[in-house]
Structure 1
Amino acid sequence: DNGLENGLKSILTEIKRVKDFGFTQTELDRTKTSSLRGYETMFNEKDKTDSKSLVREYVSNFLEGECIPGIQWEYDAAKNLMPSITLEEVNKMINSWITDGKNCVIVITAPEKSGVKIPNEETVKSIFKSVNATTVTAYSDKVSDKKITDAVPVPGKISKEEMLNADFDIHQWTLSNGAKVIYKQTDFKNDEILFNAYSWGGTSLYSDKDFIAADNATDVISASGLGNYDPVELNKYESNMVMRLSPSVSELSEGFDGSCSVKDLENLLQFVNLYFTQPRKDSTAYNSLLTQISTSLQNRNNNPQAVFSDTLTKAMYSNNIRYQPFTEKDLTQIKLTPSYNIFRERFSDPADFTFCFVGSIAPDEFKDLIEKYIASIPSKGKKETYKDLGIKWQMGNYSKKVYKGTEPKSTVAMIYTGTFDYNRHNRNEMNALTKLLNIKLRETLREDMSGVYGVSCSPQMVHYPKGQYRLIISFSCAPENVDTLMGAALKVIQKVKDGGCDDKDLLKVKELLLKEREANLKENRFWLSVITQGTKDNESISELKDFTAQVNSLKSDDFKKLASLYFNNSNYGTVILYPEK
């Protein structure tokens, strides 16, 4: 296996191409435009910058002497200086930065695996010499002059406007094609719009035989470009945008997740439209995707954490066929045409989609864009829902041990599972319980016993197809300390079951919950989640107003009751990673 040598040759060949011919004007132009957009985004948020970003600048100033002129100065300087940077100036710098290897340090990491050929120092030097003696041709930066689409959307209409929630100023539009749009205008950020969309169905509507093709459909389509653009053309087209958009197909639903600047809202909506109307099927991109996945799989079974994670997933989902580790054999089931067809099916009709937006939205302009790009998507009024496949979360008691790797380190997962009455009140209680457990586990396992660097108790709660929960306590430690630390964790749980919590810890939990909520109420991401999950779960968003009262009403006995309910020893399992014997 000469993959390392071939990879090094490929990289050095491209470096030589740059050294011999330099960059092109179009490459420089895209880089300058993209860089200026980055400065513009930071400038637009100058009065909404997170404290941690400012702290990083202070640290750089203290440690490295980096000046702090402020984003106003930096943006003005970028606007003044960037246009004057010429291709000749950039290419002149290449020879002083890139040599024939004399100022180059190469670090090679590789798996301990038979058949992997690791080049030694002499081999690396010979590769440098060989590449430097090779004749290369100049790179041609082909920039398409065609449009991303030739189609001109015929705008639809907003057939109904209503206030979805007056308490929090959340609006809902029903479009002429049946789609729903929900939006909340905020001023938390000056130049940020977050986006999410969903429709019920997902991979649950496909047989086990077609599951892998369905599960990987969005990867295949996302790699293929969009509209008239192949992947390379699309990447160049997007380079000057502050935008992110990802389609997805999960077990129960399909949809999108994305974000953009105010300036790029139209681009975002146009891309959404094209995923419905003009997704691409590109065989070259498909083959490249399969190669990337295959490469990532080659050493996965040699990675202890990957094997542990796969074992944990299998255990939690009762060894269900849809939650098995992905293998080379599975790769053969990702077919271009079937995956493309499944994507077209999942995104064939917007009538049962809900599109959610939060951020610096200008309603009048937003309305025009929605009618142009979302209401214009053809619809047959088709409505679907997911199918309950009976995939069971593992109940009862179980124990799995994984022996992999040589590092003297173990990873532990302690899993409690059960049915869950899914509503906002119960989710708030669950979060309060895990806050208390995290405090007590950290005090005991890290501070008192010095047995772990970190420990966490994390909840997972789902509504559909049936209400279920998991509580997962996880930590890493020395292998010889596994049993002692697990015993200590169980004692922490039992202590809460028996006595709840003292006044000091009760106050800590309340402060953490209230402070976290106070911060979340000023975050677009929080509100997007609230709107999306609220509509999915048919919950009133006004229930958010009850949060503070519920937190303040918590008592020690509540935690006794909650711990006894959710840390049920009858539905308790463990998965533990040990080094190989």
Structure 2
Amino acid sequence: MGESGVGEMDAMELQRATVGKVARARITMGLEFEGFRASCSPTDLELMFQLIHQYATNPRFDEEAFDSFIDRMASMLENSLKDPQTYFFDQLSSAIYKDNPYQQSIHPEQLQDVDLQRLESIFADRFADFSDFQFVIVGNFDEDELMRYVRTYLGSLPGTNRKEKFQDHNIRPFSGVSEVRFERGIGDRCFASIVTTAPYRASLENRVAMQALFQVYNERLRENVREELSGVYVVQAWPEISRYPSPHMVTNVLLACDPARVDELLDAVLDTANEVITGEFADHYVSSARATLQNIYADRIKTNSYWVDGILFGITEDRALDTFLDYPEMYQKIDAATIANAAKQWLRYDKNMLKMIMLPETSEKCDEHGGCGEHDEHGVCGEHEEDDCCGGVDCTCEETEE
């Protein structure tokens, strides 16, 4: 829709009509939500509301723009899947969520099944009823002017007061302990992830504890795995929170490292996690986490987007809308026990752990004569491009004569 324009105007006509203006709006949609994201300069407030109203009530589904987008997406996806790192994350997501189709990457061939009329039908259903929408507006505006636009452009949106029911798509992470190894790509770099999952209850207290935990965890990973052991190009831990259908946290630690040392380095990750769980870290890590989080808050609180997201947190968690303003006070209360208890709760490698290791391809795929077993008339492996024969590692495929 973003490339189709809106109403009677295609994308170019819309661009010309709004030249010199600073206002934009776009549709957002997920499995559990639909809505808008919009922004503008103070002088273009009405235009922002007009765009929201037009996208909501007079969307444009342009076939030419659709075909162009599909072609470009197919080419982009085809190229991206040739990248070993992209392939790795594609496999990782599938393993974490047990091949659930809603958690898998889109592949180029799937785009052939995308139908413009079906997209239009989905939009018409999801945006047919605005009676349960909640609009959060933050920024520099005149309140009387704002309310006039709200009544005109939002108050006139259709509403049917229909009752909707959450659909459970069975998106739940793995449980238990497992390991996956495979080969992909060439070179001297290995990608590896060690993942754990645990239940998570959304609250401001848990969010603060989570933020503090990953400040300390990443600092200790950097010191233990990257600086002391070397052999790793990247080591980074991060959490992913899901609220539906079963609230949980997925913790991922990614390594890009020397293939020969991947097992040693993954063991070091687990040793570091155990240090954090047992509270074996100095006080300065706690004070550093407090200071870092305070500084991040001080920067972000100046932005409209942070206020919008903070208010939305209050709405979704049924809390006071200004709950997020309590962060500074709560950051001051972070101590070693906060971090260790959070680690015990969410770094559950003893219960749920997935190791995924992608090694560069080796000459083991070649036959005893140093070839891949089957060649075309030019001596190229039947399942590889010429410059990727046998993964390109210590293997030469030559033209053979009969």
| Common fold: TM-score over 0.5 | yes
Provide the residue aligned with 1:400 in structure 2: 180
Provide the residue aligned with 1:488 in structure 2: 268
Q: Match of 2:7, as an amino acid?
A: G
1:282/1:543 Cα in 2 relative to 1: closer, same or farther (>3 Å)?
A: closer
After TM superposition, give the deviation of residue 492 of structure 1 in Å: 0.9
User: Residue by residue, what CA displacement relative to the aligned partner does 1:276-324 show, whole Å, maximum 9, x if unpaired?
Assistant: 1111122211211221122123333321112111111111211112223
CA contact (8 A) 1:253 1:386 kept: no
Q: Match of 2:262, as an amino acid?
A: V
1:239/1:405 Cα in 2 relative to 1: closer, same or farther (>3 Å)?
A: farther
Q: Aligned to 1:472, what secondary structure does the other structure show?
A: strand
1:357/1:304 Cα in 2 relative to 1: closer, same or farther (>3 Å)?
A: same
User: Residue by residue, what CA displacement relative to the aligned partner does 1:104-125 show, whole Å, maximum 9, x if unpaired?
Assistant: xxxxxxxxxxxxxxxxxxxxxx
Q: Aligned to 1:415, what secondary structure does the other structure show?
A: strand
1:271 maps onto 2:51 in alignment: yes
1:449/1:238 Cα in 2 relative to 1: closer, same or farther (>3 Å)?
A: farther
1:448 maps onto 2:232 in alignment: no
Q: Aligned to 2:136, what secondary structure does the other structure show?
A: strand
After TM superposition, give the deviation of residue 546 of structure 1 in Å: 4.3
Q: Aligned to 1:359, what secondary structure does the other structure show?
A: coil
* Residues in 2 aligned to 1:504 and 1:403: alpha-carbon distance in whole angstroms: 41
Q: Aligned Cα RMSD in Å? A: 1.9
| Residues 414-429 of structure 1 aligned to structure 2 (within 5 Å) | 414-429=194-209
1:307/1:566 Cα in 2 relative to 1: closer, same or farther (>3 Å)?
A: same
1:572 maps onto 2:361 in alignment: no
How many aligned residue pairs are there? Answer: 361
1:327 maps onto 2:107 in alignment: yes
1:463/1:233 Cα in 2 relative to 1: closer, same or farther (>3 Å)?
A: same
1:258/1:425 Cα in 2 relative to 1: closer, same or farther (>3 Å)?
A: same
TM-score (norm 2): 0.84
1:532 maps onto 2:293 in alignment: no
CA contact (8 A) 1:455 1:474 kept: yes
After TM superposition, give the deviation of residue 542 of structure 1 in Å: 4.3
* Residues in 1 aligned to 2:311 and 2:317: alpha-carbon distance in whole angstroms: 10
| Residues 2-21 of structure 1 aligned to structure 2 (within 5 Å) | none
CA contact (8 A) 2:173 2:197 kept: yes
TM-score (norm 1): 0.59
After TM superposition, give the deviation of residue 500 of structure 1 in Å: 4.0
Q: Aligned to 2:238, what secondary structure does the other structure show?
A: strand
| Residues 258-337 of structure 1 aligned to structure 2 (within 5 Å) | 258-337=38-117
Q: Match of 2:72, as an amino acid?
A: Q
User: Residue by residue, what CA displacement relative to the aligned partner does 1:129-172 show, whole Å, maximum 9, x if unpaired?
Assistant: xxxxxxxxxxxxxxxxxxxxxxxxxxxxxxxxxxxxxxxxxxxx
Q: Aligned to 1:413, what secondary structure does the other structure show?
A: strand
After TM superposition, give the deviation of residue 564 of structure 1 in Å: 2.0
CA contact (8 A) 1:422 1:462 kept: no
* Residues in 2 aligned to 1:279 and 1:490: alpha-carbon distance in whole angstroms: 51
1:359 maps onto 2:118 in alignment: no
2:298 to 518, 527, 544: 518
User: Residue by residue, what CA displacement relative to the aligned partner does 1:41-71 show, whole Å, maximum 9, x if unpaired?
Assistant: xxxxxxxxxxxxxxxxxxxxxxxxxxxxxxx
User: Residue by residue, what CA displacement relative to the aligned partner does 1:179-222 show, whole Å, maximum 9, x if unpaired?
Assistant: xxxxxxxxxxxxxxxxxxxxxxxxxxxxxxxxxxxxxxxxxx32
* Residues in 1 aligned to 2:245 and 2:19: alpha-carbon distance in whole angstroms: 40
1:411 maps onto 2:191 in alignment: yes
CA contact (8 A) 2:190 2:262 kept: yes
Q: Match of 2:166, as an amino acid?
A: Y
CA contact (8 A) 2:171 2:245 kept: no
1:355/1:222 Cα in 2 relative to 1: closer, same or farther (>3 Å)?
A: same
1:339 maps onto 2:110 in alignment: no
* Residues in 2 aligned to 1:238 and 1:305: alpha-carbon distance in whole angstroms: 40
Larger radius of gyration: 1
* Residues in 2 aligned to 1:527 and 1:386: alpha-carbon distance in whole angstroms: 27
Q: Match of 1:437, as an amino acid?
A: Y
User: Residue by residue, what CA displacement relative to the aligned partner does 1:385-442 show, whole Å, maximum 9, x if unpaired?
Assistant: 4322222112222222342221321222221101112211111111111111011111
* Residues in 2 aligned to 1:400 and 1:241: alpha-carbon distance in whole angstroms: 52
1:543/1:287 Cα in 2 relative to 1: closer, same or farther (>3 Å)?
A: closer
User: Residue by residue, what CA displacement relative to the aligned partner does 1:83-106 show, whole Å, maximum 9, x if unpaired?
Assistant: xxxxxxxxxxxxxxxxxxxxxxxx
Runs (4+) of structure 1 exceeding 4 A deviation are none
Structure 2 portions without partners, runs of 5+: 363-402
Q: Match of 1:277, as an amino acid?
A: T
1:541/1:369 Cα in 2 relative to 1: closer, same or farther (>3 Å)?
A: closer
What is the identity percentage for the equivalent residue pairs of Structure 1 and Structure 2?
28
Provide the residue aligned with 1:46 in structure 2: none
CA contact (8 A) 1:273 1:373 kept: yes
* Residues in 1 aligned to 2:158 and 2:178: alpha-carbon distance in whole angstroms: 50
* Residues in 1 aligned to 2:88 and 2:10: alpha-carbon distance in whole angstroms: 38
After TM superposition, give the deviation of residue 557 of structure 1 in Å: 3.1
CA contact (8 A) 1:454 1:476 kept: yes
Provide the residue aligned with 1:180 in structure 2: none
1:515/1:298 Cα in 2 relative to 1: closer, same or farther (>3 Å)?
A: closer
* Residues in 1 aligned to 2:322 and 2:47: alpha-carbon distance in whole angstroms: 33
Greater shift after overlay, 437-446 or 536-545? 536-545
CA contact (8 A) 1:352 1:384 kept: no
Q: Aligned to 1:471, what secondary structure does the other structure show?
A: strand
* Residues in 2 aligned to 1:228 and 1:260: alpha-carbon distance in whole angstroms: 22
* Residues in 1 aligned to 2:188 and 2:24: alpha-carbon distance in whole angstroms: 41
2:242 to 442, 462, 473: 462
* Residues in 2 aligned to 1:245 and 1:399: alpha-carbon distance in whole angstroms: 44
